[in-house]
Amino acid sequence: MDRPAIASFPFTTTLTTRWADNDVYGHVNNVTYYAYFDTIANLYLIQHGLDIHGESIGLVVASQCQFFASLAYPDPLVGALRVEKLGRSSVTYQIAVAREGEPLVAALATMTHVFVDRATRRPTPIPDPLRTALQALT
């Protein structure tokens, strides 16, 4: 996969690395990137109407990450989000992290949310306001 430009993502937000993000090798541990990705996606969803206490919730059913460059504390970061595929009850995102000021992403994840009924855990259609917000990221 080619290393995309951070500017190719329609949604961006700033992130802050923390001292605890670094591992013994002096860079952000790979597991920490997944916390960044989850934060970026959920920030967008909450800003656009997802009620995290509501009847419909998004569950991660698949994810993967490709690493291109190392990050470390105290790097300021940019997180980015776009939609790769939007289905009836699921959405597949591309989520990226870059060092602030760098044109290319340091890590790129693909993550799929399936929206389900909180009680039954059965797939449910993505609520219309959220669907509209996700379409803006395609």
- Run of H or E including 46: helix 30-47
Strands (E), the chain: 11-16, 56-67, 76-86, 90-99, 107-117
Q: What is the rounded distance in angstroms from the CA atom of residue 73 to the CA atom of residue 76?
A: 8
Q: Which amino acid is at 31?
A: V
Give residue 52's pLDDT: 85
Domain architecture of the chain: domains with CATH: 6-135 (3.10.129.10)
The closest alpha carbon to 18, from 73, 80, 77, 86, belongs to 73
**Token pair listed for 14:** 């700033």
| 0.85 exceeded by pTM | yes
Give residue 46's pLDDT: 93
Q: Which amino acid is at 1?
A: M
Give residue 49's pLDDT: 86
Give residue 50's pLDDT: 84
pLDDT digits (tens, 9 = 90+) for 71-104: 999 999 999 999 999 999 999 999 999 999 999 9
The closest alpha carbon to 75, from 47, 102, 56, belongs to 102
